[in-house]
Every structure is written in C-alpha cells, then in structure tokens.
Amino acid sequence: MTIEKLKRFTLLIALVLGVVTVPVAPVGAINVFKDDVCNDTTKNTSVCKGSNETISPIIQAIVNTLLFAIGTVSVIMIIVGGFRYTISNGDSAKVKQAKDTILYSVIGLIVALSAFAVVEFVATNFKA
C-alpha cells in the first residue's frame, strides 16, 4: 500500500468515524405563526414559555450549535495534522504544513471558545 493510499484510507476512516459518532438530538416543531399557539394549556414549549423574553436564547442555541460544529472540525483537523506529521518522514516542508494545521486548529478552537464565553457573559448579564 502506497503512502498516498494510506493517507486516503486514514482520512476516509476519520471522516466515517466522525460522522457516525456525531450525537443526534430529537427535534420538535411548533407553528409559531399560528395566532393561538401559546393559548393551549397543553403547549409546554420553550417558545411559549419565553414569548416575553429577549432573543438571547435563540442566539445561545445558534452559538452552541456552531461551537459544536467548530469543535468537531477542529478535533478532526488536529488528528489530520497529527497523521500528516507522522507520515512526513522528516521532510521539513511537510512537517511545517502539519504543524501549521495543528496550530490553526487549536487557534480556531480557542476563538470558538472565546466567542462562546462572550455570548454567555452578554446573555446572562445584559438581559432586558
């Protein structure tokens, strides 16, 4: 097996495992454009409970979803960078590319966590 085939096979395995291991959350829907959507006493949803709140729960949900996606991609890229570093065979250009991949993945993860911290701080301290 050549190095190129080994790279492709490893990437394929990493992608398959990344897709298979992603947790799936159940999704519910409610018609928010219906006039009496929150008048029914059986409706116990966050839309009805928070109808007089600010938009911060929506922003928090979006940021949480994006943070999960960025974290997943970052971890996958750190693994890819590690594989690239391992199979570089001492070639300085390939080693530099692998180190850059790992460095940029970690920087991206730090930026994503910082964004999460800022959104959480603003959402908890500046409610209307």
- Provide the percentage of residues in the chain whose pLDDT is more than 90: 22
Task: Place 8 in a pLDDT band, splitting at 50, 70 and 90.
Answer: confident
- Residue by residue, DSSP assigns the chain as --HHHHHHHHHHHHHHHHHHTS---------TTSTTTTTSTT---HHHHTTTS-SHHHHHHHHHHHHHHHHHHHHHHHHHHHHHHHTTTT-HHHHHHHHHHHHHHHHHHHHHHHHHHHHHHHHHH---
CB atoms within 10 A of CB 41: 6
pLDDT, tens only, 11-25 = 767 665 565 455 555
Global model pTM greater than 0.75 = no
CB 95 within 8 A of CB 88: yes
pLDDT, tens only, 61-96 = 887 788 888 888 988 999 999 999 999 888 899 999
**Amino acid, single-letter form, for residue 31:** N
Show me where the domains of the chain are located: 56-128
pLDDT, position 67: 83
pLDDT, position 1: 55
